Chain A
Amino acid sequence: MAFQVNDIEKQISHAMNIDTGSPSTDGQVQHLPDQRRSAAETPSSAFHTGPINILIVDDEPKNLTVLETVLDDPDYRLVRAESADRALHALVKEEFALLILDIRLPGMNGFELAQMIRQRKKTAGVPIIFLTAYYNEDQHVLEGYGTGAVDYLVKPVNPAILRSKVSVFAELHRKSRALLAEITERRRVEEQLRELSDTLEQRVTERTRALKLASSALHEAGERYRSLFDGSLDAIFFLGADGRFKAANPAALRLITRTLEELKTIHFLDLCAPDQREGVGNAFRTAFRCQGFAIDTAVITVTGERRDLFISGAPETQDGEVVGISCIARDITERIKTEEALRLSEARYRELIQSLPAAVYTTDERGRITLYNQAAVALWGCEPKVGEDLWYGSWNIYRPDGTPLSFDECPMAVTLREGRPIHGEEIVIERPDGTRRHVLPHPKPMLNAQSVVIGVINMLVDITDLKQAERAMVHLAAIVMSSDDAIVSKNLQGIVTSWNGAAERLFGYTAEEMIGQPVSRLIPVNRHNEEPSILERIRRGESIEHYETIRQRKDGTEFPVSLTVSPLVDLHGKIIGASKIARDITEQKRVEEALRERDRTLTTMNDTLKKQTVALAEANKELEGFSYSVSHDLRAPLRTIDAFSLIMEEDQGSRLSDEGRRCLTIVRKSVGQAGELIDDLLEFSKLGRQGMSFRLVMMADLAREAVDDLSIMQKSRQVDLTIGDLPPCQGDRRFLKIVWMNLLTNAFKYTNNRNETRIEVGWMPDDANAGSVIYFVKDNGIGFDMAYAHKLFGVFQRLHRREEFEGTGVGLAVVRRIVQRHDGRVWAEGKVGEGATFFVSLRKATA
């Protein structure tokens, strides 16, 4: 409809343009969008503004040329005709504004031609000018005018006059042509306007009819909406862009408990419960983004009551712009309350079921599980799928005697089938893990109002533990009877209530003799005060454990016992007596005494050992002090002796005899030896005192290092020394170097008189001890007699005279000391004159 209106308006505006505007300068009329007009009807030829056609007729071409020369003007188009026939042809073909006609023509003369032109309707209006040189009498002139000529000119004609006359007719023609065009155009526009007016009228009629229909429908709808709006139980209201109320239905006013006038001054958010404002604000913003919304929220009424609302809203738009929000709100306060109450009730119900210690579950009428508690899960050993698993799940069931029970026979199936409750028929269920439980099912049908079974509620009571307890009781009784410990029970008055076999054997009384008698019969007279205090502690609920005392047999002999007394309680937890376990500890006492005796001996020994350790530490300390004194104090006088011997030699040398000087030399040499001895002794004593740190020692490197150190001293000698690919060992590097130094020093020393010295440092596995490795130093020196081999490693032991080989006899003692401290072994092999080999076995390096 809107489009049609627009269409009409467009057409009207076109028509107006044409009506008020003038024809365009080129004389072309703007075409209307009228399909009915054809191009043929357009009088295009009539509106030519180009040159004006002038027909010139003369039988003398020369005269025509003269005319063309005179009338040469871009506004004129001259058409030549040399006879009347030709002139008529030209006139039929096109339109002329003026004819300039010669009278004397071959055949039809000018007058006759003019008459024919006048008689043809189409050419009757064309002005004719006669031009002649011969017909110059008045009668000719009159005849000329008589044919309707507009002028009659006699040659010779003044060209200016001719041009002027022609231009008058040209102008006349031009004006009449324009007038004609204008008239034609007006007619056409009028026609068009009439047509348009007809169309418009028709459309207006149509629209009026449609509007009438719409208006009536609208009215009807309006009425419907109005009644809906007024009668709706849901609150309906409209808010403006500012969030204030524009309109509200009675339900809304009831809900919000305000009049419409009051509401119109209020912003909706002011009504909202404070905790809801943000949510509502967000929803409104959604609406202003041209989207609908639906939210649960709450408002506060005049009386301060909170009402829960469900509001759905939609943007109200005008010209594509949101100008307000239309809302429908439903009071859901009651519904929420009901739901909450229902939820609480449901939760309480479920909680109740869950908190039951017994397994409880329900099924529908087909036996599918609808609800179960955790106790049921614990009993079944698996979690059932609600609505899918059947009441018996996947486990097997048995009779109490262990024979299989079919599912159809079990109490649950019977209740489902027959609709009657069953109580206390014991069954055994097997869980997924294979364990079995004894249970008492209590299925009870759930009926609807029509007494039709709609499900079953079942409670399973697990009696496995109870049965086990029963069995345990029987076992315990058997144990008590067969126990080697005397087990006796008594009441709070100290009267014996039970008496086992071991008690008979221990005390010599039979059960018949003791039951009903006071327990004090067993207590020696001097210990009678023990019983009341034991009973007192039992009454307080305390236990007495391993209380050692003396008891008396029937024959009067006394013996040591260990008592454990515990309160006996009845089903209600009330203490009703005591159980007493008595054990003869005669043997135990004897052993304990023996142990104590040994303890005492050990303590004494330990004390002695401690004293010895202290003494040893002191002795060590003294030794240290001693070594220090030796180091310092013993050396000082030696130095003095040496110095003064030399001073004597220097100062008094000239007065001394040769013998005197020799004596002095001996004195000084002895001093030197004493010094060496002191140094070696100190070194040796240090070995025992210094701590060692065991690490991985690269023995090949260490041996080479020792050789390098010694080579400085042995520079002058040629020695063929080889060091094998020695494996590493576990030991103290510092001390092991001393070992190498001493062994190598010996090797160098005792090969002193050989022409070719050969020393081999090598290794071999230790066959006696797989965890060790043997290193050796072999020389080709003077060797030794194996008969004295045991003396080699003693302190100050020498196998050679001092004049032969230097040394104090401490070196190998040092080697042995160090190797011993490594838990290793050292030994030597040799032969006089053929060299010696020294072996050292040490722990292999642990990887």
Chain B
Amino acid sequence: MEILLIEDSPEDVEITLRAFRKFELANKVHVVRDGEEALEYLFGKGRYAGQAACSTTRLILLDLKLPKVDGSEVLQRCKSDPRTKNIPVVVFTSSKEDRDLTDTYNLGVNSYVVKPLDFSQFTETIRQLSLYWMGLNQLPPKQTL
């Protein structure tokens, strides 16, 4: 899976997947529902023992308010681990708080995107995100990972 979606709200998961589906990317999206699961998935622990996805994941969409392990902690762990620090992380949240924006940028987030209320705009945002981070954005060569 190339896209990891970390989202606790089932509605938002559905909306987001629907948007991905429009661009035929839904089959590349793996969904986890909390921060703990996200870390297990990326580093091959617990439920995902022995199958670390860090090498295949190309984009992480991260909600901030998550059960168990908070979104900003997931971000911090990803950005401080050599295996994952080069995977682009886009915070995709409802929060417009300046504090959240500053905090996550300090932790090294690649992009901070507020989920638009309007679904048409929401879909458009998903399209632009995938286009930019999956298509246009040039990642560092694999061997440096």
Contact = CB atoms under 8 A, between A and B. Distances in A.
Contact of A631 (B12, B94, B116): B94
B65 interface: yes
A68 interface: no
B38 to A, nearest CB: 19
A632 B119 contact: no
Given A643-B11, A644-B11, A647-B18, A636 B118 contact: no
A670 to B, nearest CB: 11
A639 B120 CA distance: 11
A635 B117 contact: yes
Interface residues of B, dominant DSSP: loop
Interface string B59-96: 00000110000000000000000000000000001111
A642 B97 contact: no
Interface string B95-129: 11101000000000000000111111010000000
A214 B81 CA distance: 122
A632 B117 contact: no
Interface in A609-667: 627-628, 631-633, 635-636, 638-640, 642-647
A679 interface: yes
Nearest to A636: B94
Contacts of A627: 97
A672 interface: yes
Nearest to B19: A643
Given A639-B122, A643-B11, A646-B120, A632 B95 contact: yes
B30 to A, nearest CB: 21
B11 A672 contact: no
A843 B12 CA distance: 49
B93 A639 contact: no
A639 B115 contact: yes
Contacts of B117: 635, 638-639, 642, 671-672, 675
A640 B99 CA distance: 24
Contact of A639 (B94, B95, B96): B94
A639 B12 contact: yes
B15 A628 contact: no
Contacts of B95: 628, 631-632
A835 B93 CA distance: 42
A632 B118 contact: no
Nearest to A683: B96
B15 A640 contact: yes
B27 interface: no
B56 interface: no
Contacts of A481: none
Residue among B93, B94, B120 with the most chain A CB within 10 A? B94
A8 interface: no
Contacts of A668: 118
Nearest to A637: B11
A682 interface: yes
Contact of B11 (A632, A633, A640, A682): A640
A643 B96 contact: no
B94 A682 contact: no
B51 interface: no
Contacts of A633: 94
A627 B95 CA distance: 10
A632 B94 contact: yes
Nearest to A634: B94
Interface residues of B, number: 20
Interface in B1-33: 9, 11-12, 15, 18
Contacts of B18: 643, 647
A447 B65 CA distance: 115
A689 B69 CA distance: 29
A631 B15 CA distance: 19
A631 B96 contact: yes
Given A635-B117, A636-B9, A671-B117, A643 B15 contact: yes
Contact of A628 (B97, B115, B120, B122): B97
A646 B119 contact: yes
Nearest to B121: A642
B96 A679 contact: yes
A632 B11 CA distance: 15
Nearest to A674: B117
A635 B9 CA distance: 13
B17 to A, nearest CB: 11
Interface centre among B18, B115, B119 (most CB of A within 10 A): B119
Given A643-B15, A647-B18, A672 B9 contact: no
B20 to A, nearest CB: 13
B15 A672 contact: no
A631 B97 contact: yes
Nearest to A682: B96
Nearest to A647: B18
A647 B12 CA distance: 13
A644 B14 CA distance: 10
A640 B94 contact: no
Nearest to B95: A632
A632 B65 contact: yes
Nearest to B99: A628
Contacts of A682: 96
Contacts of A636: 9, 11-12, 94
A640 B97 contact: no
A643 B16 CA distance: 10
A126 B44 CA distance: 165
A679 B94 CA distance: 11
Nearest to A635: B94
Nearest to A627: B97
Contacts of A642: 117-119
Contacts of B93: 632
A640 B115 CA distance: 11
A642 B12 CA distance: 11
A755 to B, nearest CB: 33
A288 B115 CA distance: 109
Contacts of B15: 639-640, 643-644, 647
Query: Which of A627, A643, A647, A679 has most B Cβ within 10 Å?
Result: A643
A669 to B, nearest CB: 10
Nearest to A671: B117
A640 B16 CA distance: 11
Contacts of A679: 96
B63 to A, nearest CB: 10
B97 to A, nearest CB: 6
Nearest to B117: A675
Given A631-B97, A682-B96, A640 B120 contact: no
A672 B119 CA distance: 11
Contacts of A672: 117-118
Nearest to B93: A632
B125 to A, nearest CB: 12
A622 to B, nearest CB: 15
Contacts of B122: 639, 643
A505 to B, nearest CB: 75
Nearest to B115: A639
Interface string A667-709: 0100110010001001000000000000000000000000000
Nearest to B15: A643
B96 A640 contact: no
Q: Kindly name the residue among B115, B116, B118 whose own CB sees the greatest number of chain A CB atoms within 10 A.
A: B118
A352 B106 CA distance: 83
Contacts of B65: 632
A679 to B, nearest CB: 7
Kindly list the 8 A-B residue pairs having the minimum CB-CB distance in the complex, ordered from nearest: A643-B119, A675-B117, A646-B119, A640-B11, A635-B94, A643-B15, A632-B95, A632-B94
15 contacts: A628-B95, A631-B95, A632-B93, A632-B97, A633-B94, A635-B94, A635-B117, A636-B9, A636-B11, A639-B12, A639-B115, A639-B122, A642-B117, A644-B11, A647-B18
Interface of B: 9, 11-12, 15, 18, 64-65, 93-97, 99, 115-120, 122
Given A631-B97, A672-B118, 15 more contacts: A627-B97, A631-B95, A632-B64, A632-B65, A632-B94, A632-B95, A635-B94, A636-B9, A636-B94, A639-B12, A639-B15, A639-B117, A642-B119, A643-B15, A643-B18
